[in-house]
Structure 1
Amino acid sequence: MSATRRSWSNRRPGTGYAASWRSTESGGDMATDSTVPAQPRWPKRLTLLFLCFAATFVCYIDRVNISVAAIAMQESFGWSETTKGLVLSSFFIGYMIFQVPSGWLASRHGGKLVMGLAIAWWSLFTILTPLAAAVSLPMLLLARVGMGLGEAATFPAGYYLGARWFPPGERSRFVAVLLSGVPAGTVFALLTTGWIVTHWGWQSVFYLFGVAGLVVTALWFALVHDSPAGHPRISAAERALLASADDKREGSGPTPWRRLLALPAIWALVFNHFCSNWILYMLLSWLPSYFRATQDLSLINAGLFSAAPWLSMFATINLGAWLADGRIRRGASVTAVRKLMQAIGLLGAGGFLLLAREAATPLMALLVMCCALGALGFTWSGFAPNHLDIAPRHADVLMGLTNTAGTVPGIIGVAVTGWLVDRTGSFDAAFLLAASVAAAGALVWLLFATGRRILD
């Protein structure tokens, strides 16, 4: 039986979280062969997993803090909603243009180096944000673009490491934990930024969060290794388990762009990354302003109300991954699982955004937003692991490609949302547009997506 059918640790009572990660090939059962070497109680890939989560967490606290701080900055600098939308969206220019280059760098130089340098880079630009804002609006926009250049490497570098450290039966959960840093970091930023801004001024939040990123940088370089074979302290049992699962052990080789771009499933993935992120980035940037403007909440309460929907998303990301890996392990088609999760996520999120237009009270608005982002969390067991399904040896570069499209809503969607709010005086038109984008994505995914490995 394949070594990738072994659990991350022995199935003894008391092994805790590590024991809950039970890796199998599609349709396989857990091995019970007593001759198989016992796995360590805390596998090294769990350390990598949580540091990937930490990287995404600081990525998003640094990205999201401005969505709350911008309310105070708007009052201080006299910005219109359109100007605020420009500030919020400028980050995504740098983030978009460096997606594919960062995937290429990860495939050539490894995820450890690229991710570590990226965390340090964006943390320094976070710290520089107040100074840039004090100089001029163009300098602030340039600082946000520079920060986006650093954060662009987060997911391509993460997917490089995922292809090397996690067998196919664990990849939905790897992606879920990696991406759980998005709602977790968002919740933390929303819960703390309003309080920090109120008590210490909006500048302080950029200093505090930037320093936190530098701490994670130090831990990253101390503990992370590019491959199981190169880890000096990994157990022989875990190294043997992962030897056949390392999809980049022989190198990626040149990216086959012509073949890649000729496949309909690739374009379905690109489009669905765009559609899923339209809702994600719209709410990431505008949810505090939505609660403040439509429900007349204070700055602190707007941040608190904005946190709850992201907690809902955190729960459904991990629930969806557990369900997806479980169905695949029991023999379900990977294609069917990915299509089901993506359709539930997009159609559910779009439907709840349409209901948000009728929310008349803060509690009703909160409930609907929890449901919208909760539904969206299921897409991260749909399109998000699909890079590792269909082209695991090129998942880093493919992630850079699809996330380039996935970043466009951060520029266009965030800015268009501000323009629509300025023009109409409400969020109704913005929510209708987002629901329409989600429906289009679901249709394309159901028609063209696949979970088969289509590119070696």
Structure 2
Amino acid sequence: MAVIQKHAKNGGPDLVCHKETHLPGKTGVPGCHKKWPENHSNWPRPVARLWTVVLLLGTCLLYCARVAMPICAVSMAEKFNWSKRESGMVLGSFFWGYCFTQVFGGYVSDRVGGEKILLLSAAAWGSMTAFTPILAHLCSQPILSMMLARFLMGLLQGVHYPSLASLCSQKVVESERGFLMSTVGSGSYLGTLLIGGAGSLMLDLYGWESVFYVSGLLSVLWAYCMWKYLLKGEGPIITLESLGGATQSKHTKRHWFRLLKQPAVFAVIVTHLCTASTFFTLLSWLPTFFKDTFPDAKGWVFNVIPWLVAIPSSLFSGCLSDHLICQGFDTASVRKLMQFFSMGVSSVFTILLCSNTTFPWAVAFVSVTMGLTTFSHRYWLLLNPSTVFLTLVELSGL
């Protein structure tokens, strides 16, 4: 195993692990020797640790703001006389906006820096979350205003994970990315836990408006602290020149057009579609499933235990991927292995959940399913975006 330095298109060096081939009778040195050189764009280890904590909190608050509406949907429906269909329209509006800014967020982050996009988007969706109750009370048609607010929330939050991917690929040593991103990604489950517990308490004591106010203001405060102490007060200025980025050759542009026609690209899209749809279906409908199937069960059990399992599972998947890469396994093979556990093995327990089972076994099946699903949520961040492009080109035979 060796660590070599290569230069990407933007001139910044990147550290990658390559498996060495040894002549017969020769022995290699096992393990991956990770270095944190000072003269390149990667974060030093102390800085990387600080950013890990900050990004973990940011992802946690992202989900606090995202899940605030599902928690308050019942109370808001009673307040504004919404039917179940209208409540579903409000909740679904988020994903209509969420799907539009995925590619845009990654494109802009690669050119101006993921930290700037994270800062601007967090300030925007945090403010939108805090303003949601005011918007609901001021408008004569709350259903329309809430659909618009959720659509804008989806637009603003859609750039979060692409920005994380861009920032990680540019600032973190490859052999450390799995653990860092799995740690940051576990903030989604932590945020779901916090808003599910504290949000339900605030809902009962202070009304549904308090859930939006607290989660929104905390998100804005996080964005301010990130700007003040990590970015040192630098203005997140985005110019047209920076959006233009480095010019691409005609050869590269032809590759992109040909790549979009290849089956491998659509296979990746379908894979992510299946994984995301399963995750968000479980996120949205598990409480209803348990309430209808086991009406006497305690709500805090099935609302908390699966997410408690998901957090250490996400961390474990990151450690496992880093360990396998350092042992000499190809990065693409590690990604495929993580995806196999996430989709293949977890589907077995999902099928078992549909059978006639008892409440303890149902909770166990759901917990294992959610734990294994986390294996794929960060696997694609182990590579640089440019490496993903080259891998797909190779698979497509271009």
Q: How does 1:394-409 map to 2 (within 5 A)?
A: none
Q: How many percent identity over aligned positions? A: 26
Which residue matches 1:29? 31
Deviations 1:255-300 (A, max 9, x none): 84425424544333222221110111112222333333433369xx
Contact 2:169–2:384 under 8 Å retained in 1? no
Which whole-Å CA distance do the structure 1 matches of 2:33 and 2:362 have between them? 48
Contact 1:389–1:451 under 8 Å retained in 2? no
Contact 1:391–1:454 under 8 Å retained in 2? no
Structure 1 alignment gaps of length 5 or more:
5-22, 231-250, 396-448
The counterpart of 1:373, out of the listed 363, 367, 370, is: 370
Instruction: Give the number of aligned pairs.
Output: 357
Which residue matches 1:125? 128
| Worse-matched range after superposition: 67-76 or 157-166 | 67-76
SS at 2:17 equivalent: coil
Contact 2:3–2:32 under 8 Å retained in 1? no
Which whole-Å CA distance do the structure 1 matches of 2:133 and 2:329 have between them? 51
Distance 1:132 1:348, change over 3 A: farther
Which whole-Å CA distance do the structure 2 matches of 1:40 and 1:116 have between them? 18
| Worse-matched range after superposition: 57-66 or 98-107 | 98-107
Which whole-Å CA distance do the structure 2 matches of 1:55 and 1:297 have between them? 36
Aligned partner of 1:173: which letter? F
Aligned partner of 2:94: which letter? F
Q: Scaled by the length of structure 1, what TM-score is found? A: 0.69
Aligned partner of 1:330: which letter? Q
Q: Say if 2:334 is the partner of 1:332.
A: no
Distance 1:88 1:362, change over 3 A: farther
Q: Say if 2:147 is the partner of 1:141.
A: yes
Aligned partner of 1:169: which letter? S
Which residue matches 1:420? none
Q: How does 1:168-207 map to 2 (within 5 A)?
A: 168-207=174-213
Q: Say if 2:391 is the partner of 1:391.
A: no
Q: How does 1:48-67 map to 2 (within 5 A)?
A: 48-67=51-70
Which whole-Å CA distance do the structure 2 matches of 1:114 and 1:36 have between them? 25
Q: How does 1:273-312 map to 2 (within 5 A)?
A: 273-296=272-295, 301-302=298-299, 305-312=302-309
Which whole-Å CA distance do the structure 2 matches of 1:78 and 1:359 have between them? 36
Which whole-Å CA distance do the structure 1 matches of 2:355 and 2:388 have between them? 46
Distance 1:335 1:364, change over 3 A: same
Which whole-Å CA distance do the structure 2 matches of 1:70 and 1:304 have between them? 21
Which residue matches 1:355? 352
Which whole-Å CA distance do the structure 1 matches of 2:323 and 2:133 have between them? 47
Which residue matches 2:215? 209
Which whole-Å CA distance do the structure 2 matches of 1:253 and 1:453 have between them? 25
Which whole-Å CA distance do the structure 2 matches of 1:367 and 1:188 have between them? 21
Deviations 1:405-441 (A, max 9, x none): xxxxxxxxxxxxxxxxxxxxxxxxxxxxxxxxxxxxx
Q: Scaled by the length of structure 2, what TM-score is found? A: 0.78
Contact 2:259–2:396 under 8 Å retained in 1? no
Contact 1:90–1:141 under 8 Å retained in 2? yes
Which whole-Å CA distance do the structure 2 matches of 1:312 and 1:294 have between them? 22
Distance 1:41 1:261, change over 3 A: closer
Which whole-Å CA distance do the structure 1 matches of 2:230 and 2:246 have between them? 20
Aligned partner of 1:142: which letter? L
Distance 1:121 1:351, change over 3 A: same
The Cα shift of 1:74 comes to 3.2
Distance 1:43 1:197, change over 3 A: same
Structure 2 alignment gaps of length 5 or more:
6-14, 20-29, 235-244
Distance 1:75 1:351, change over 3 A: farther
The counterpart of 2:113, out of the listed 107, 110, 115, is: 110
SS at 2:82 equivalent: coil
CA RMSD of aligned residues (A): 3.5
Deviations 1:194-238 (A, max 9, x none): 221111111110101001101110121124459xxx9xxxxxxxx
Distance 1:318 1:192, change over 3 A: same
SS at 2:99 equivalent: helix
Which whole-Å CA distance do the structure 2 matches of 1:108 and 1:284 have between them? 33
Which residue matches 2:224? 218
Which residue matches 1:43? 46
Contact 1:123–1:214 under 8 Å retained in 2? yes
